[in-house]
Structure 1
Amino acid sequence: MQQARQPVLRDIVLVGGGHTHVGVLKRFAMRPEPGVRLTLICRDTHTPYSGMLPGYVAGHYTYDDVHIDLRRLAEYAGARFFRDEAIGIDHDARRVLCRSRPPVPYDWLSINIGSTPRMDALGGAPEHAVPVKPIHQFNDRWQTLLRRIEAHSGRTRVAVVGGGAGGVELLLAMQYRLGRELAARGRDPAELALALFTRGESILPTHNARVRAQFRDTLARRGVEVHTATEIVDVEAGRLQAADGSWYGADEIVWVTNAGGAAWLRDTRLELDDDGFIQVDDTLRSPSDPRIFAAGDIARQVNHPREKAGVFAVRQGRPLADNLRAAVTGRPLTPYRPQARWLALISTGDRHAVASRGPLCLSGDWVWRWKDSIDRRFMARFNDLPPMTQDTMKATAPSRVVLDEEEHDQAISAVAMRCGGCGAKVGASVLSRALSTLAPVAREEVLVGLHAPDDAAVVRVPPGKDMVHTIDFFRAFIDDPYVFGRIAANHALGDIFAMGAEAQTATAVATVPQGLEAKVEDTVYQMMAGAVEVLDEAGCALVGGHTGEGSELALGFAVNGLIDSGSVGESTEDDGRAGMALMTKGDLRPGQALILTKPLGTGTLFAAHARLGARGRWIDAALESMCQSSRQAASCLREHGATACTDLTGFGLLGHLIEMTRPSGVDAELDLSALPLLEGAEETVAAGILSSLQPANVRLRRAIRDPAAWVEHPRYPMLFDPQTAGGLLAGVPAEHAEACLAALQALGYTRAAIIGRVLESGEAQEPIHLRG
């Protein structure tokens, strides 16, 4: 996480990870604008480069070859990455409305979300046809089709609707790949029948006659049926209907036409064209809201309309970045005029391509190699990023952002030497505004809390209950305060659940970097909104807290829980009172199975993320695991007779297991091959990327019998990897272990695993045995 060198003064929010926005991120990475914070909101962590998609379908490229890692690029640019989907704009409050997180405020907004297939008006199309966009959904269906072709014997009919360059190129790529898959299995490629449908009088209507002729010949030579002047008006399972009433059989239907703007744009104030695309002027700014820009396929330049082609989205990266920079610093915007002619390199599925520009038509294998070279150079600009070092995050120059008088005074206060003690508290008005819309769950035991604030909360302990207390606090390791809030709350609640207790109340303590009041207020709101969601889900009432200024964002909770009085030392195994006994670390018993409810690897993955050494999807999976509550897992473990339990945090698996074996007077055996790992963790460990806490944890290797025999095992370092919001480690009777594991997986803990067993204490001093 790159720390701001000065207060955030303005927010530029980028909605969508299209070709233009990746160019904006790269330009701001190369030349940051002091005082300006970028935030990228995108549903997908990996965005495909459309120019290489046919090559990916044809099998010439891997998934990573054709995708830009947005999370990694955002980290490189010092931008926040919010993995979510925009669904609206609050123009008056200047906020982006999101599907599954609080609204995101902006000072300037840019939209680059591409086009959306318009299939709703066509009967049956949404159910029975596969749109090529959004591409992530097409990829899922494409992989399914590949598997089905492999398993299916007999004739398969594939129809592509759309006769532009995109439809023709995709059809030829599919034919090439599917044909090779059939041949590789000793089957006849003639089992595959492809047809192309277009309502136009010819295919590739925006290209010259020679290019069209080349592709007509190619399609005919490869046995593809081409239906021009054929408008599809209805789709059913296994067939589609043309406007003249004719029906055509098709087992798979791919839709590459009738694209328009996203439906949610219709509910904004933005001026749209007839197809729902955002109208923009020569500076790429909306004439109906001067604080909003748009680019790529979602935009239509009023004075310079052009075909929807990737080349324009790529070329708009520089002018959009320059105009966003100018807008935020109060300088004049610069008009951008797109080229009237452009080079299109259209592949034919195999390693052959056609070059088209105006009247020009060139073809050959060399054209494909030329295209391949151009495409790979383009992708290298965004994927081959230098590692992050201390030199990378050098101090920035003074900000050029234009501020009003009040903001100017706040900015001076934020960068000046701040008071310590109570002077470091976040202002009461800022805090009250940030928390005013949050609605913590209500509990009848809370007599004085946030609903009636006072100097301290007053909470009644219900009759027959004992209190369980815990506290956790740590600094942010991601730039998304909402997700960080969710993880921090989960991390703190883990201790309560591991004890077999019910969470009752929580008080928060947070530090927030100094800045303009509006920026501090939103950070507090986003972070606490995420935390309160998790606390509410656990039935835990937030009753108070303290927020102060600090150099880094950090959050922690003191959590109180409830357990039945007199349950300490009682056993669910002995008396059958599932859910009533307190689970402690010191009650492991020989013969029990060791169950871990979540995979390991958060330490190494986030160390790698900070150095640009982790793929975005690895971080996505890690965050998803960290956001998963252990509440149901704890209940499941108790129901299956668990007597001892702990949650994995900073000491890592080995450290926490030692904390269990010593007071229990037992040994334990771990199966390294059974350890569940987060995707990418083994790769980052192999690359030597470890958490800063790892060396301290490694000192515990003296508890391992014959550690030298295991030090070269690829999973050995994972014993010491510190976890954040990690899983529960529990001892469960061996006869119940498989049933417990199945129940955990049914509850959504899909990576839960039996990782070892509890042994009688041996004569050796080392309590931990390993096997591979």
Structure 2
Amino acid sequence: MIEREVVLAGSGAAHLAALRHLAMRPLPPRIRLTFLVPEPEQPYSGMVPGVMAGRIRRDAARVDLAALARAAGARLVLGQAVGLDPAARLLRLAGERPPLRYDLLSLAIGAEPALVPGAAEHALPLKPLGRFLDVWVALVADPPQDLLVVGGGAAGVEVALAARARLGSGPRIALLAPTGPLPRLAAGARRAAIRALAAARIETLVGEAVAVEPQHLHLAGGRTLPFGVALWAAGAVAPAWLAETGLDLAEGGWLAADATLRSTGDPAVFAAGDAGAVLPHPRPRNGVYAVRQGVPLAENLRRVLAGKAPRPFRPQRWHLSLLLAGERAIAAKGPFGIAGRWALRLKDRIDRDWVASFARLPPFMARAMPQPAMRCAGCGAKVPPAVLARVLARLPHSPDTGVPLGLEAPDDAALLAAPAPGRVLVQSVDHFRAPCDDPWVFGRIAASHALGDIAAMGGVPRAALAIAGLPPAAEPVLEADLLAMLAGAQSTLEPAGARLAGGHSGEAAEASLGFAVTGEVAPELALRRSGLRPGEALILTRPLGTGAILAGWMRGFGRGRDWAAALATMQRDPFPASRILLAHGATAAVDVTGFGLLGHLLEMLRASGCSALLDADAVPALDGALAALAAGFASTLHPGNAEACGPHLLDADGIVPERLALLLDPQTAGGLLAGVPARQAAACLAALRAAGEGPTLIGWTIAGPAQIALQPDRSRRRSGPDGKHERPGIDGAGEPLPAAAG
């Protein structure tokens, strides 16, 4: 039973080191640990100049934050902190997400770029690092003739030298610093940096930027500098929202912390890395100090949770700085500084060891959760009425004439208005266990999955009833999780047109959620499984692979970015695709879910009395899905799908095993599979792509019994009129070839 919650907000080095420590020595099961970060992975800042210079592969400089959270047994929440209510112990998040509650909160949110007016619009800030590197790749492909690096600190010097190493001698590169490069560094190291800049033919300019316009930088004193591209590496400031928390702040707006890294204004809040200023031991804002705070932070969180006093942390007086300078590195410590190739080798080893330390962590093994001696069953296992009342009061209630009585005035049942003449009701129900730890994301996925059946029928959703199961927990935890689940569901249901009208909630061994969805459709427009006709194109609106990715992730396999991308795909609204399919004459459709692509296609073929030719190579896969299947990670429903579909497959022996497995992979909130008249196929695909879908023409229907002929050999494709190979059975004009061609 979860009793208390610890939230680590931000992916600063202190939190990375703390989570690595907690992966080795986890918190007790009754404590829930949450890791809040904007992205599932991030570049390591110390290696970004090496990536820019082309010395280091980008993948080798990434820290997989999702995998780190998994190893530490932490719930990963992808979001951005934008505010804090210390009295209510709520961390506010960007967007429509409800706040995260906490018993203990640690902030390692880092600093924000110190931007002048116009810098965000007309220059390229170094942070966020991922976006910076994305744009840098485009700059390398089309180099500017005039590059200006703004900022004379370590970041600015490294970026300027890395740019020269990657772009060569062609562009003019200048470095702008208020008082010259590296004013706070030791004299020897500063001289080495100035020599490196001169050797790289990087012009050093002195001046303070006050505003940026397109291709022009305005300096204090009225001077203007023209530029082609400006990279912004000038200083850092505290996030503005820290000033609104009411907590004690140090100079510069950073959270004031004591020697135990605890906020001086609130014992429930810790501040680490750049977010905090440790008043007894002021130090420069440097990653070395942040890393050293990681283990003491983790241990002090553990001590406070156990009712013990936290221990003070005293950082070292000096730290070693290593700056990339072309084919050498500059080493500085205290008053000493020197450059050399040996320093570059040392920097490479330290950086690579730091990143590699997060890839070597074993997968987290779930521990048994201590349970109370007895928990009631039946209606005695419902969520407490006070919790339910508070959650319903916090959910937004939008007026809807189609639902005269819903959550705004809870009763024994909801009231729905009768459909208009010529329309009929369409209903469906879905329910499943949580595929992720984030209840808000789970709510969105469960809602999208439930809406898929209505979308596949060509219907319009009107109302949904929820059935939610939550494991026993302290009332504040239970309330926060139920609110997040239902708010996440609302954020998907209501934009699609379905109002959350009521439901039921109770205790369960693990989190689960489902919806009974009611919609309406004109009977003559309903897309039924029985509507396929020979000669139609089969269009799949989304890639496959969610089952394999989730199965692998639960067992410690896969990359965090692939897992997060799969979750994002599962949250997509299915109705834009449904409307486009209808507009292009679709005759039948089904949402691809638990029975996999082949299972659901067979359902359509049986109902329609026809056969299909399927290009197995054309079926798209989510990133990471084929790798998971090749490694043997498959959903528990996979064997049942294979047994049910096997007797109805032709030419399956020539299919690569993982690709055949993809066709059987159970999907959660999968896309739509539809039959579209061949003459409409090209236009339908174009419209789906324009709407942001990822559609693919995967095959066609032919006359015959309910079976699927797979096309594994690309050499069997016919040539189109221009001599290029086309999908089997579809000629260059998008028309189906005769059935005999298969």
TM over 0.5: yes
Q: Of 698, 702, 712, which aligns to 1:755?
A: 698
Question: Is residue 475 of structure 2 the alignment partner of residue 517 of structure 1?
Answer: yes
Please tell me whether residue 384 in structure 1 is matched to residue 363 in structure 2: no
Q: Taking structure 1 as the reference length, what is the TM-score of the superposition?
A: 0.89
**Secondary structure at the counterpart of residue 337 of structure 2:** strand
Q: 2:14 aligns with which of 11, 20, 37?
A: 20
Residue 345 of structure 1 aligns with an amino acid whose one-letter code is L
Q: Which residue of 1 is the match for residue 647 of structure 2?
A: 702
Distance (Å, rounded) in 2 between the aligned partners of 1:444 and 1:223: 70
Q: 2:298 aligns with which of 309, 321, 345?
A: 321
Structure 2 counterpart of 1:37:
32
Structure 2 partner of 1:291: 268
CA distance in 2, matches of 1:264, 1:555: 34
Alpha-carbon distance, 1:714 to partner: 4.7
Q: Deviations over 1:510-556 (max 9, x none)?
A: 11000111111111111011112222122223232211111100011
Q: How does 1:627-642 map to 2 (within 5 A)?
A: 627-642=571-586
| Map 1:148-159 → 2, pairs under 5 A | 148-149=142-143, 156-159=145-148
Shift in Å, 1:131: 1.6
CA displacement 1:537-578 (0-9 Å, x = unmatched): 2222323221111110001111222223xx2xx4xxxxxxxx
CA distance in 2, matches of 1:241, 1:419: 70
Paired residue secondary structure (1:459): coil
Distance (Å, rounded) in 2 between the aligned partners of 1:660 and 1:703: 13
Specify the SS of the correspondent of 2:650.
coil
Deviations 1:596-647 (A, max 9, x none): 1111110111112112212121122212211111112111111111110000
Matching residue's letter, 2:285: K
Superposed displacement of residue 163, structure 1: 1.7
- Shift of the alpha carbon at 1:441? 4.5
Equivalences for 1:71-470 in 2 at 5 Å? 71-100=66-95, 101-119=97-115, 122-149=116-143, 156-179=145-168, 189=169, 191-200=170-179, 202-228=180-206, 230-350=207-327, 352-387=328-363, 392-395=365-368, 415-464=372-421, 465-470=423-428
Amino acid across the alignment from 1:220: A
Map of 1:68 onto structure 2: 63
Superposition RMSD in Å: 1.9
Q: Deviations over 1:380-424 (max 9, x none)?
A: 221223245xxx33437x7xxxxxxxxxxxxxxx62221121222
How has the CA–CA distance of structure 1 residues 164 and 504 changed in structure 2, closer, same or farther, with 3 Å as cutoff? closer
Quick check: 2:612–2:708 contact (8 Å CA) kept in 1? yes
Of 377-386 and 527-536, more deviation after overlay is shown by: 377-386
Alignment check: 8 A CA contact 1:96 1:105 kept: yes
Report the counterpart of residue 561 of structure 1 in structure 2.
519
Change (3 A) 1:13 1:361: same
The answer (yes or no) to whether the contact 2:175–2:205 under 8 Å persists in 1 is yes
- The alignment status of 1:486 with 2:444, answered yes or no, reads yes
> How many Å separate the matches in 2 of 1:52 and 1:549?
47
Displacement after TM superposition at 1:272 (Å):
2.6
CA distance in 2, matches of 1:133, 1:72: 22
- TM-fit CA distance, 1:766: 3.5
Given that 1:441 and 1:539 are in contact with CA atoms closer than 8 Å, whether structure 2 keeps it comes out as no
Structure 2: distance between partners of 1:678 and 1:538: 24
Change (3 A) 1:502 1:126: closer
What corresponds to 1:577 in structure 2? Answer: none
**Helix, strand or coil for the counterpart of 1:22?**
helix
1:84-136 CA-partner distances (Å, limit 9, x unpaired): 111111122110111121111111111111111121xx343232222212222
Q: What secondary structure does 1:160 align onto? A: strand
Shift of 1:47: 2.2
Q: How many residues align?
A: 709
- Structure 1 residue 448: deviation in Å? 4.2
Structure-1 separation of matches of 2:161 and 2:624: 34
Q: Distance in 2 between matches of 1:335 and 1:277?
A: 19
CA contact (8 A) 1:174 1:349 kept: no
How many Å apart are 1:276 and its aligned residue?
2.3
Cα–Cα, structure 1 residues 336 and 501, in superposed 2: closer, same or farther, change >3 Å?
A: same
Match of 1:653 in 2: 597
Output the CA distance in 1 between the equivalents of 2:698 and 2:670: 15
Distance of 2:86 and 2:418 partners within structure 1: 47
SS of the aligned residue for 1:273 comes to coil
- Following the alignment from structure 2 to structure 1, what is the Cα–Cα distance between the partners of residues 610 and 475? 55
CA contact (8 A) 1:115 1:133 kept: no
Percent identical: 45
Select the residue among 32, 51, 57 that pairs with 1:56: 51
Which stretch shifts more, 366-375 or 484-493?
366-375
Structure 1 residue identity aligned to 2:172: A
Structure 1: runs of 5+ lacking an equivalent: 1-6, 180-188, 399-413, 571-580
Matches of 1:508 and 1:239, distance apart in 2: 56
Q: Secondary structure at the match of 1:340?
A: coil
Deviation at 1:246, TM superposition (A): 3.5
For residue 237 of structure 1, report the CA deviation from its aligned partner.
2.5
Q: 8 Å contact 1:441–1:540 — kept in the other structure? A: no
Provide TM-score, normalisation by structure 2.
0.92
SS at match of 1:715: helix
Once residues 483 and 123 of structure 1 are traced to their aligned partners in structure 2, the CA distance between those partners, rounded to angstroms, is 36
Q: How has the CA–CA distance of structure 1 residues 251 and 224 changed in structure 2, closer, same or farther, with 3 Å as cutoff?
A: same
Counterparts of 1:232 and 1:449, CA distance in 2: 57
Instruction: Determine helix, strand or coil for the equivalent of 1:313.
Output: helix
Residue of structure 2 in register with 1:404 after alignment: none
* 1:17-38 deviation line (CA, Å, top 9, x unaligned): 1111111212222222212111
Contact 2:147 2:227 in 1 (8 A): yes
Secondary structure at 1:114 match in 2: coil
1:541-556 → structure 2 map (5 Å cutoff): 541-556=499-514
TM-fit CA distance, 1:675: 1.4
**2:652–2:710 CA contact under 8 A, matched in 1:** no
Shift in Å, 1:210: 1.6
Q: Partner amino acid for 2:65?
A: L
Q: 1:299 to 1:373 in 2, by over 3 A?
A: same
Identify the residue that residue 185 of structure 1 maps to in structure 2. Answer: none
Structure 1 residue 741, shift from structure 2 partner? 1.1
- 1:393 is paired with a residue of what secondary structure? coil
C-alpha separation in 1, matches of 2:504 and 2:709: 42
Structure 1 pair 244–425 and aligned structure 2 pair: CA distance change class (3 A): closer
| Distance change in 2, residues 1:502/1:317 (3 Å) | same
Report the equivalent of 2:453: 495
- State the shift of 1:697 in Å: 1.2
In structure 2, the residue corresponding to 1:415 is in which secondary structure?
A: coil
**Counterpart contact for 2:392–2:407, Cα < 8 Å:** no
Report if aligned partners of 2:630, 2:657 keep a CA contact under 8 Å in 1: no
What is the alpha-carbon distance in structure 1 between the residues aligned to residue 407 and residue 428 of structure 2? 20
For residue 358 of structure 1, what is the amino acid of its counterpart? Answer: G
Instruction: Decide whether the 8 Å contact of 2:125 with 2:231 is kept in 1.
Output: yes
Distance 1:420 1:614 in 2: 38
Amino acid at match of 1:756: G
Corresponding position of 1:770: 711
Q: 1:451 to 1:220 in 2, by over 3 A?
A: closer
CA 1:500–1:232 in 2, change beyond 3 Å: closer, same or farther? closer
Range 614-623 or range 10-19, more displaced: 614-623
